[in-house]
Amino acid sequence: MIEVRNIYKSFENKDVLKNISKVFNEGETNLIIGRSGSGKTVLLKSIVGLHEVDQGQILYDGRDFTKMNPKLRKKLRQEMGMVFQGGALFDSLTVEENVRFPLDMFSEMSGVEKQKQVDFCLERVNIRDANKLYPSEISGGMQKRVAIARAIVLNPKYLFCDEPNSGLDPETSLVIDKLVRSITVDLKITTIINTHDMNSVMEIGDNILFISDGEMCWEGNRKEILHSTNQKLQEFVFANKQYQRIRDDKIKE
């Protein structure tokens, strides 16, 4: 479980996050949604420590990340996996080497055990016959799946995904969503996903935080979103007529 308490963050006197508090549960897909520029990426990067918060606490199963020294943070980071918007795979390494990298760095496994774990993770994300290819030789969807495999190779307790569906077609996006959800449930990890993809919200939104202009605007789950009377949320989620129709149909049901 990850808990953020009263987080504030500003850049050059511009407040980007204002008093954000939220509990992100274990075994659930926790979503942070909001318009572009609403502060959701800053929030995610603050949670993982890529940005230092100005005020507030970030607790990983009760351990205060904001008060940890660099050594402890480094140790905690080995319990994290992150999938970046662009995949962030290492260009100079093959698919297999990318997934193996965290094992080479931090595990005491033998070469055979590492290979088994790499194969298992690649199998888990349905990547076959691409082990020796470089990231530039595979599609965007495959890159995202390899990034997920790399993120889970050390069996993390916390998984973070920054817009995992950006730039992907709807079918591949659905595959990625289902994959992240099944990993979250199977491995009982705490997953936080940053997204503005409404398909993801409706498909895997167990616990949703909607932020607008750096402030917490609404929280709930994908069912509650349909009945929410929050004006900003309604405008954001149901901006598309198709979603408005889906909402109306679901409410009728």
Partner 1 sequence: MKSLEQVGKYFELLVRVFSKPERHSIYVRQVFNEIDNLGVNSVGIVTVISIFMGGIMTLQVAYNLQNPLLPIYLIGLGTRDTLILEFSSTILALIMAGKIGSNITSEIGSMKVTEQIDSLEIMGVNSASYLILPKIIAVVLMFPVLYIISVFFGLIGGLIVGPAVGAVTATDYLNGIQYLFNSYYVTYSLIKCLVFGFLISSISAFFGYTVEGGAFDVGTASTRAVVNTNIMILVWDLILTQLLF
What is the binding site for partner 1 (CB under 8 A)? 45, 48, 50, 74-78, 80-82, 84-86, 88-91, 101-102, 104-106, 160
- The least distance separating partner 1 from the CB of residue 50, rounded to whole angstroms, comes to 6
Q: Which of 29, 69, 9 is nearest to 201 (CA)?
A: 29
Q: Name the residue nearer to partner 1 (CB basis): 83 or 175.
A: 83
- The least distance separating partner 1 from the CB of residue 55, rounded to whole angstroms, comes to 22
Question: Whole-angstrom Cα distance, residue 103 to residue 96?
Answer: 11
Helix (H, G, I), strand (E, B) or coil at 52: coil
| Alpha-carbon separation of residue 174 from 12, 23, 42, 141, 163 (angstroms) | 38, 25, 25, 11, 13
Side chain identity at residue 102, one-letter code: P
- The least distance separating partner 1 from the CB of residue 114, rounded to whole angstroms, comes to 13
Q: Name the residue nearer to partner 1 (CB basis): 92 or 242.
A: 92
Q: Name the residue nearer to partner 1 (CB basis): 160 or 218.
A: 160
Q: Name the residue nearer to partner 1 (CB basis): 141 or 205.
A: 141
DSSP-assigned letters across all residues of 203-239: HH-SEEEEEETTEEEEEE-HHHHHH---HHHHHHHT-
Question: Whole-angstrom Cα distance, residue 184 to residue 241?
Answer: 31
Q: Name the residue nearer to partner 1 (CB basis): 57 or 107.
A: 107
Tokens describing residue 155: 């069996």
- The least distance separating partner 1 from the CB of residue 48, rounded to whole angstroms, comes to 6
- The least distance separating partner 1 from the CB of residue 134, rounded to whole angstroms, comes to 14
